[in-house]
Amino acid sequence: MSEFSEWFHNILEEAEIIDTRYPIKGMHVWQPQGFKIRKYALKLLRELLDEDHEEVLFPLLIPEDELAKEAIHVKGFEEEVYWVTHGGLNQLNKKLALRPTSETAMYPMFNLWVRSHSDLPMKFYQIVNTFRYETKHTRPLIRVREITTFKEAHTIHSDSKGAQKQVERAIEIYSNFFDQLGIPYVVTRRPDWDKFPGADYTMAFDTLLPDGKTLQIGTVHNLGQTFAHTFDITYETPEGEHEHVYQTCYGLSDRMIASIIGIHGDSSGLSLPPSVAPYQVVIVPVLFKKGAKEVLDFCSQLKDKLEKGGIRVHHDDRDIRAGKKYYEWEMRGVPLRLEIGPRDIENNKMVALRRDTLEKETLDYSEETVINDLNNILAEITKNLKINAWNKFQDNIRPANTLEEARDILTNDKGIISFSWCGDESCGKEIEEFVRVDILGVFEESTDGTCIKCGAPSKTIALLAKTY
């Protein structure tokens, strides 16, 4: 197990995020602390999507014949689909699949829902559990058999341009989401041999975990008309013709939580962006024999005040050593800790420890401005987490001019390699074989260089990395 892997497993356990002892491999329990982080992350996501998407909820089970309708699609999933074959003591007439993703659950209904050009575009999303019978090594939140948090959006458009624009819009939404969480990413166009089964093309978000491996944290697919033909989804044009629709879909998973934990965490444990922290502020009273009651009263009133001001706050008045409290709240990633003793109250001061920097400073306390002051610090923490994460991320994207150089960098420094590529699949596969990692995809079009493999004029800058 790598050092990061060990850290990750330990912090999931110690901070009570996920219990991995559930008696099925790759299926885990969200504990209360983890559930709250997940809840606040989904709140941010819903705020972004609700602007122009409708939330829906489709059944978990998909009849075998619907799943099989789109041949390319089912081929991509057939080895990892769980099958329900029995109801009670009876064998079912038709096997039912646990959704691996919901195209084949939704699109037979879209066939019924879409009527006229005036219905379009339609944009739906749902947040559900999906299932993959993973045969590889499983890891909590990263490679699991029950994806407990699968946000999948599905959109329907009257023309190709509408679908193309929606791909751009989805990238914008996801960028905004990850920016709010301070998670750095690259967006690439996946090689054709690595696109979503049934898509025209796939755009993907990758971030980098501390062990130097990239993690795919979001995908956006332009489905073109493939599924529209398979499920005969048509609309009536203003001229009375019937045309097939164009579609996109895009998804996020539990990995959004894995990346929050893995990217911002450090040797003291979690370090949570305020937007998803179960507690944004913890108040620790500093007690001496004299004045203890005054301090506890002050802290308790401060807690009420902050809560009314919309800050998620906890007053830790347990009768245990302060050091134990400090250790625990740092480990749990509370962004801001306030320590308040009798002298502080006298002098209108508070001692604040920022979890992102682990530095202490003494703040002025004013009843009128305290909520605003703390919100400003929380905003600074958010900003600082993001800057640090992006700096580390960008330091780990390195150009390589030869395959040997790429291989050396990946051996010594890990991270992401950028290189010039002619774009041909045969070169791509040989590059992957030589450096023994995957091409993430095309980062941008560029005719400046020559292909790292064949030396022909290159068309693109692409990225290589060891992936999760």
Binding residues for a second copy, per CB under 8 A?
Answer: 19, 21-24, 27-32, 35-36, 38-39, 54-61, 63, 66, 78-90, 96, 98, 105, 108-109, 112-113, 124, 129, 133, 135, 146, 148
Least distance from C-beta 136 to a second copy, angstroms? 12
Least distance from C-beta 52 to a second copy, angstroms? 12
Least distance from C-beta 90 to a second copy, angstroms? 8
Query: Which is nearer to a second copy, 27 or 403 (by Cβ)?
Result: 27
Instruction: Identify the residue whose tokens are 């245990």.
Output: 320
* Rounded distance between C-alpha atoms, residue 376 and residue 389, angstroms: 20
What are the distances in angstroms from CA 319 to CA 179, 286, 304? 39, 11, 20
Least distance from C-beta 299 to a second copy, angstroms? 22
Query: Which is nearer to a second copy, 113 or 288 (by Cβ)?
Result: 113
* Rounded distance between C-alpha atoms, residue 409 and residue 429, angstroms: 19
Query: Which is nearer to a second copy, 32 or 240 (by Cβ)?
Result: 32
| 267: its two tokens | 């040797």
Is the Cβ–Cβ distance between 280 and 312 less than 8 Å?
yes
Query: Which is nearer to a second copy, 31 or 175 (by Cβ)?
Result: 31
Is the Cβ–Cβ distance between 374 and 353 less than 8 Å?
no
Least distance from C-beta 84 to a second copy, angstroms? 5
The H or E element containing residue 90 is: strand 90-98
Query: Which is nearer to a second copy, 128 or 385 (by Cβ)?
Result: 128
Least distance from C-beta 288 to a second copy, angstroms? 26
Least distance from C-beta 123 to a second copy, angstroms? 10
Task: Identify the burial level of 21 via C-beta atoms within 10 angstroms of its C-beta, where 0-12 means exposed, 13-18 middle and 19 or more buried.
Answer: exposed
Query: Which is nearer to a second copy, 37 or 336 (by Cβ)?
Result: 37
Alpha-carbon 48 to chain mean position:
14
Side chain identity at 109, as an amino acid letter?
M
Which residues, in sequence order, are bridge partners of residue 417? Answer: 398, 464
**Short-list 406, 410, 418, 430, CA closest to 461:** 418
Least distance from C-beta 80 to a second copy, angstroms? 5
Least distance from C-beta 59 to a second copy, angstroms? 4
Query: Which is nearer to a second copy, 189 or 315 (by Cβ)?
Result: 315
Query: Which is nearer to a second copy, 65 or 346 (by Cβ)?
Result: 65
Query: Which is nearer to a second copy, 256 or 370 (by Cβ)?
Result: 256
Instruction: Identify the residue whose tokens are 């991320």.
Output: 393
Query: Which is nearer to a second copy, 91 or 267 (by Cβ)?
Result: 91
DSSP structure string for 234-296: EEE-TTS-EEE-EEEEEEE-THHHHHHHHHH-BTTB----GGG-S-SEEEEE---STTHHHHH
**Short-list 205, 204, 330, 178, CA closest to 263:** 178
Least distance from C-beta 251 to a second copy, angstroms? 19
- Strands (DSSP E) contained in 321-456 are 336-340, 349-354, 359-364, 397-399, 416-421, 438-445
